[in-house]
């Protein structure tokens, strides 16, 4: 039995320490927000935050996550227990820009955006593209995603109305 610090609370998990965090979250904890895409570290759909840094949960064993604080989109923003102002604004900006189609990439994109804007509130386009380079989208052509991030960055990550 391990204890996972997830979205501001402690969760007891029985999965083996070698189990990918993605599977622990989805299959044991029931948090379906990280998406199983390639499961090979190539698409970013499974992105979660570990101590505020984006990580690929399909490649991260549970045993390497238990010492940190894991954040998923399910726990952050409007409906989650982690009522983070920036995450709420990221959600709103993605919705306004029409940056979501099938949604497979979206939670990973949002968490990567959160991490970017936390470090660089006025991120440039180059910083945005670099931050999202590991997150693939097969639907949107990236334009609207980059627009959503640019809207936030232009206002120092959030002077738009939520
Ligand atoms: S599912 Fe993890 S990188 Fe694709
Ligand atoms: S919205 Fe479908 S993969 Fe990005």
> Please, is 107 exposed, middle or buried when counting C-beta atoms within 10 Å of its C-beta (0-12, 13-18, 19+)?
buried
Overall average pLDDT of the 61-82 stretch: 82
Ligand 2 pocket mutation, candidates 43, 99, 103, criterion most atoms within 8 A of CB: 103
Residue nearest atom 4 in ligand 2 by C-alpha distance: 137
Q: What percent of the chain has pLDDT over 70?
A: 91
Task: Please state whether the predicted TM-score (pTM) of the whole model is above 0.85.
Answer: yes
Average pLDDT over residues 122-141: 95
Name all domains of the chain by residue range, CATH numbers in brackets.
2-75 (3.10.20.30), 85-154 (1.10.150.120)
Question: What pLDDT, on a 0 to 100 scale, did the predictor assign at position 94?
Answer: 94
User: Can you give the pLDDT at residue 8?
Assistant: 87
Two tokens at 102? 């099938």
115, two tokens: 């991490």
**In angstroms, rounded to a whole number, what is the distance separating the alpha carbons of residues 112 and 104?**
14
For 56-90, b/e burial (b = at least 16 CB within 10 A) is: bbbebbbeebbebebbbbbbbbeebebebebbbbb
What value does the mean pLDDT of the chain take?
Answer: 91
Ligand 2, pocket residues at CB < 6 Å: 100-106, 137-140
In testing the pocket of ligand 2, which one of 132, 137, 141 has its CB within 8 Å of the most ligand atoms?
A: 137
């Amino acid at each position: 039995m391990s204890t996972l610090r997830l979205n501001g609370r402690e969760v007891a998990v029985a999965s083996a320490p070698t189990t990918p965090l993605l599977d622990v979250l989805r299959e044991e904890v029931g948090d379906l927000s990280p998406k199983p895409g390639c499961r090979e570290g190539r698409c970013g759909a499974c992105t979660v935050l570990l101590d505020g840094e984006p990580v690929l949960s399909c490649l991260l064993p549970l045993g390497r996550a238990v010492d940190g604080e894991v954040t998923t989109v399910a726990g952050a923003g409007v409906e989650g227990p982690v009522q983070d102002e920036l995450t709420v604004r990221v959600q709103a900006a993605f919705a306004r820009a029409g940056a979501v189609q099938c949604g497979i990439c979206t939670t990973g994109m949002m968490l990567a955006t959160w991490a970017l804007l936390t470090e660089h509130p006025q991120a440039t386009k180059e910083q945005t593209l670099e931050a999202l380079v590991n997150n693939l989208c097969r639907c949107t052509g990236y334009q609207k995603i980059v627009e959503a991030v640019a809207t936030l960055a232009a206002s120092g990550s959030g002077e738009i109305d939520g």
